[in-house]
Structure 1
Amino acid sequence: MTTLLGRHARNFVCLVAMIVVAACSSPQPSGAAPYAAIVQDARTGEVLHAENADTRLHPASLTKMLTLYITFEEIQRGRLTLDTLVTVTPSAAAKPPSRLGLKPGQKIAVRYLIRAAAIRSANDAASALGDHIGGSEEGFARRMDATAKALGMRNSTFKNANGLTANGHLSTARDMNTLGRRLFYDFPQYYNIFSRRTADAGLMQVNNTNTRFLDAYKGADGIKTGFTNAAGFNLTASAERGNVRLVATVFGGASTPARNAKMAQLLDLGFKRAPSNAPTQVPPAPNYSADVEAVLMAEADPLPEVANGAGKTIRLQTAVARSPRPVTRPDAGKVAAAEVAVAAIEDSIAAALAEAMGEPPAPGTLDAQAVAMASAAPATEPAASLPAVSAPPPARPEAIAEAAPEAVAPEPVMMAAAVAAPEPGTLDAQALALTGEPTLDAQAEQFAALPADELLVTDPMQVAAVMAPAEPAAPKRNAPIFDRVAEAPAAQAVEEPVVIRLSTSSARHWGINLGQFSSRSEAERLLLKTQLAESATLNEGLRKVVQRGGGFEANFMGLTQDQADLACRRLQARAVQCFAMGP
């Protein structure tokens, strides 16, 4: 009996020992998080290494990258500013560490929440941003899912803004890598925050959770760490060496040193495999559906609250539904010629009205003589027994002679004339007394009264002029009558320069960037297309293509800060990538 019991006891002990040995020899310790990794060439998006890259896992605080991406979108759309005050909700203030220490009802500027979420990975700061933008944790989660889908994150679903473990809050290494690359290209003006070692977050000075890796790996400049018990130690990092930039993600690290060592191995592998010169292919703008875009516009805050109540601005919040082709600007020369012609017509009309409505000139004046000559009929009978006399024309006035020194005096005309004595007291009598010769008016009357066969003209051209039939009536003139003289050459009109481009001086030091392209022609086509579609804000901008980093950047320069900001907001409302560039 004792032997049988001892045998059973020995068998039980052996069984227990086998179970213990089997458990101890398991390849994965109990509770260890699943592992996944991916490395991409950030310039082209080419995958250089991947392992379990599409396995849905817990992203932990890598989630905050998407929260910050949406926040940057809100700033770019004009719905938020860095000085907008956010009221902390009780839900946000109750989030577990890591925390900034926010209190329910507290107001804090957006800039401090961004620094706390990006650098310290503060859960309460990320939740405060999400509640303010989405209205609630659930509303912001819907916004996160819509944005992730528009960015091409195909296997991610989100339940909160901070990344704390929740049922259904899952992502993949590939999706987080896509998000990290998007942050670099879509918001380069904010990307530097991920490489800061420390920053002022309003309530305190915060330190970067990724300092060890940033200091240890050459060329590293971001991006975000994450840790929960379910996720393990996660990291999305970016590094640049020479012309090569890589982005990589690790899920499920056993510890911070182990995770950092694995990330260093992945990036070293990527730098070995990536070509030194590859064309930069900027990812396209987020592809939001029309329904999602309408919801985003409807949820906009029209008057963001800022410190001291200053800086509240009403901004455009409706997407452009139709952009007609702009009307061609008129030619400057044609416009000037038309204006001159219109002015001449107006002057002629005014002069005619004044002459028609004016009173007749006083008797004895030159005006009265001109009117009498114009209305007098030509003599039909020649004067009898007129002696031949030589009547050269009087000397030209000095002012006219100086204005046309090159004019040649006409040959004298020999004609028969009877010089009748003018009536005493008239201008003709005064002119005869001063010069000894009759006035031009008297000569003209005598000349008109003579028949053509009694004129002796030495110049053939003058003969032709004399033999030409006389006009029915001479035109009226309101000025003294002189012989025709050569007119002074008219000064050539100097064309005024037409300004077709504004100077980039006088506060026009701003510009906008529409992305980087693999060829110059592609960048120029986008610039032209964008200027035609957005002529209201970019008509004064200078299109400029800049070759940089193996690609061609499409820029508009020569704008003011207000023009650059407004242009970017309008373009981004139509899902066109754009960011403003300051001096």
Structure 2
Amino acid sequence: MRQSFAGMCPHHQAVLKVIISFLAAIALIAGFAAQASANPRYAAYVMDAKTGQVLFNRYGDEQRYPASLTKMMTLYMLFEAMESGRVAKSTPIPISAKAAAEPPTKIGLRAGSTITAENAIYSLVTRSANDIATAIGEFLGGSEQNFARLTTTKARQLGMNSTTFQNAHGLPNSRQVTTARDMAILGIALREHFPQYYSYFGTREFTLGKQRFGNHNRVLGRVRGADGIKTGYIRASGFNLVSSVQDDGRSIVAVVMGGRSGRTRDDHMVELIREYLPRASRGSKQMLVARGSTSQIVASAASPQQLPQTIATPQFRPAMSAEPAPMELALAPTSTPQPSMPQIVPAPAPVAAAEGTDEVAERIQMAFAGAVPSARPTPPSPIPSQAVPAALEAVKERSNVDPVQTSSTQASGWVIQVASMPSESEANSFLASAKSRASNVLSGAEPFTETFEHNGRTYYRARFSGFAGKDQAWNACGSLKNYDIACYAVQM
């Protein structure tokens, strides 16, 4: 009997492994569904980069705001100009007054200065610099408006039929929309069309003069085989990320949009990669995105029945677009159709509180700022117009995007806190006031807000990031005392 039981053990173990895998997949899918139902900005998409098979799709065709994922297309256009010989790595790109005035995240070059094309690339893939993105757009298109028309036309040529660009950086604009599917197509196009330049997306650190910039993409180095591509964040979009992974003969591009924080977005991306990379093909690589006005995605060789029943399996072949022939850069603009606005419910994305926050300092700051706890936070409103950079005034319109300056990604490293307020609008106003009063101390710092709960009520931390380390953050706090601004430093 023992021999009989022993002979059955391997069979039982195999069955048990199948059951465990099945239950894990159900739990993962249930988690995705819960996240999507609670977050109207959420979308996710995973594609086999060798065959074009759609491995996962949740709201992949619903319109979303791209935020700094826009810079993927800005770089596509720059790579195209470099490949054709119109631009060299050493070509100087001028910084206009408009580019210099863009809000953070930025490099901070002065109007009238220049940056080489290669350093401009590094600035976008690491720092996600809005000032440099604008400079590239103006340089290639003659104006940012014309560049937006060029990039929208290029999107149609690549099969990105639900994407419209209005600027080169991704800062708020109600008409700048995309989908997770379209961002996956763009990620594939960058890999396929510019293999000689694609490695830039894997840059972990970049130094320009005395400044050193780390890559915002935290998935790099966290997942074996991850080689790019780009993060993005504005409050209207939530935290976005496009990732490319090549490992063990398999290759995928994955998209997550609408994350509630940088950390949860990254965790979700890692879940998707671990779940679906093993399902990708080890076969030969197919060319998925053709260039020019006739481009379309090759249909998946796999039948819908081969995909999990709980995952949507749309036809992965974009309709042909009646767009004009390919345009040369800086030529007369051609109008492009505008997609309808997505029904996106705006909400500030809650960010996890930093570990080790000094609760005593938090209370002191609330008292200093005159914060009066309220049972329900005041709805966010724009900070006074005089405190908003002029570059953003053009996009302050009746829309459901956030007109105040935002960073491209969640802050990390050492930050300083200058207030805790009962509403986001008060926190933003305090940040604008502090930066105006202590401009010499905070000129290179990036303002942002962060929520936390205290005695069942929501408050908003007013913080600045962009400090090289602990000493620089504490020195800034010391200097702010001269302006009667309470401050303490914390590592995120």
Matched, 1:235 2:254: no
Residue number among 32, 53, 56 corresponding to 2:60 in the alignment: 53
Q: Which residue of 1 aligns with 2:140?
A: 133
Separation in structure 2 between the aligned mates of residue 268 and residue 135 of structure 1, nearest angstrom = 43
Separation in structure 1 between the aligned mates of residue 104 and residue 190 of structure 2, nearest angstrom = 25
Q: Which residue of 2 aligns with 1:263?
A: 269
Q: CA deviation at 1:282?
A: 4.4
Separation in structure 1 between the aligned mates of residue 71 and residue 159 of structure 2, nearest angstrom = 17
Residue number among 197, 220, 227 corresponding to 1:221 in the alignment: 227
Separation in structure 2 between the aligned mates of residue 281 and residue 263 of structure 1, nearest angstrom = 25
Q: Which residue of 2 aligns with 1:204?
A: 211
Q: Pick closer, same or farther for the CA change 1:201–1:32 going to 2, 3 Å.
A: farther
Superimposed CA distance per residue, residues 273-308 of structure 1 (whole angstroms, 9 cap, x where no aligned partner): 2233354334322327895435548479xxxxxxxx
Question: Are the equivalent residues in 1 in contact too, given 2:96–2:111 (CA < 8 A)?
Answer: yes
Separation in structure 2 between the aligned mates of residue 31 and residue 114 of structure 1, nearest angstrom = 36
Q: What one-letter code is carried by the residue in structure 1 that aligns with 2:220?
A: L
Q: Which residue of 2 aligns with 1:41?
A: 48
Q: Pick closer, same or farther for the CA change 1:160–1:298 going to 2, 3 Å.
A: closer
Matches within 5 A, 1:69-148: 69-148=76-155
Q: Pick closer, same or farther for the CA change 1:33–1:255 going to 2, 3 Å.
A: farther
Separation in structure 2 between the aligned mates of residue 77 and residue 290 of structure 1, nearest angstrom = 22
Matches within 5 A, 1:490-569: none
Q: Which residue of 2 aligns with 1:293?
A: 326
TM-score (norm. length: structure 2): 0.53
Structure 1 runs of 4+ with >6 Å offset: 27-31
Separation in structure 2 between the aligned mates of residue 69 and residue 215 of structure 1, nearest angstrom = 24
Matched, 1:274 2:280: yes
Question: Any gaps of 5 or more consecutive residues in structure 1?
Answer: 1-26, 301-583
Q: Which residue of 2 aligns with 1:166?
A: 173
If asked which structure has higher relative contact order (CA below 8 Å, sep 6+), I would say 2
Q: Pick closer, same or farther for the CA change 1:272–1:124 going to 2, 3 Å.
A: same
Q: CA deviation at 1:31?
A: 11
Q: Pick closer, same or farther for the CA change 1:291–1:106 going to 2, 3 Å.
A: same
Q: What one-letter code is carried by the residue in structure 1 that aligns with 2:147?
A: F
Q: Pick closer, same or farther for the CA change 1:121–1:74 going to 2, 3 Å.
A: same
Superimposed CA distance per residue, residues 237-290 of structure 1 (whole angstroms, 9 cap, x where no aligned partner): 011111101100000011111111111111122223223335433432232789
Question: Are the equivalent residues in 1 in contact too, given 2:141–2:330 (CA < 8 A)?
Answer: no
State the identity as a percent.
Answer: 40
Residue number among 62, 73, 86 corresponding to 2:69 in the alignment: 62
2:63 partner SS = coil
Q: Pick closer, same or farther for the CA change 1:46–1:85 going to 2, 3 Å.
A: same
Q: What one-letter code is carried by the residue in structure 2 that aligns with 1:293?
A: P
Computed over aligned residues only, the root mean square deviation of the Cα atoms, in angstroms, reads 2.4
Residue number among 181, 184, 187 corresponding to 1:180 in the alignment: 187
Aligned length: 273
Separation in structure 2 between the aligned mates of residue 281 and residue 260 of structure 1, nearest angstrom = 28
Question: Are the equivalent residues in 2 in contact too, given 1:54–1:172 (CA < 8 A)?
Answer: yes
Matches within 5 A, 1:75-474: 75-202=82-209, 204-210=211-217, 212-287=218-293, 291-293=324-326, 295-296=328-329, 298=331
Separation in structure 2 between the aligned mates of residue 204 and residue 163 of structure 1, nearest angstrom = 24
Q: Pick closer, same or farther for the CA change 1:298–1:131 going to 2, 3 Å.
A: closer
Superimposed CA distance per residue, residues 526-548 of structure 1 (whole angstroms, 9 cap, x where no aligned partner): xxxxxxxxxxxxxxxxxxxxxxx
Separation in structure 2 between the aligned mates of residue 203 and residue 132 of structure 1, nearest angstrom = 25
Q: CA deviation at 1:233?
A: 0.6
Question: Are the equivalent residues in 2 in contact too, given 1:37–1:173 (CA < 8 A)?
Answer: yes
Higher radius of gyration, 1 or 2: 1
Separation in structure 1 between the aligned mates of residue 323 and residue 231 of structure 2, nearest angstrom = 34
Separation in structure 2 between the aligned mates of residue 102 and residue 173 of structure 1, nearest angstrom = 32
Question: Are the equivalent residues in 2 in contact too, given 1:146–1:292 (CA < 8 A)?
Answer: no
Superimposed CA distance per residue, residues 137-178 of structure 1 (whole angstroms, 9 cap, x where no aligned partner): 111100111110111101000110000010200000000000
2:230 partner SS = strand
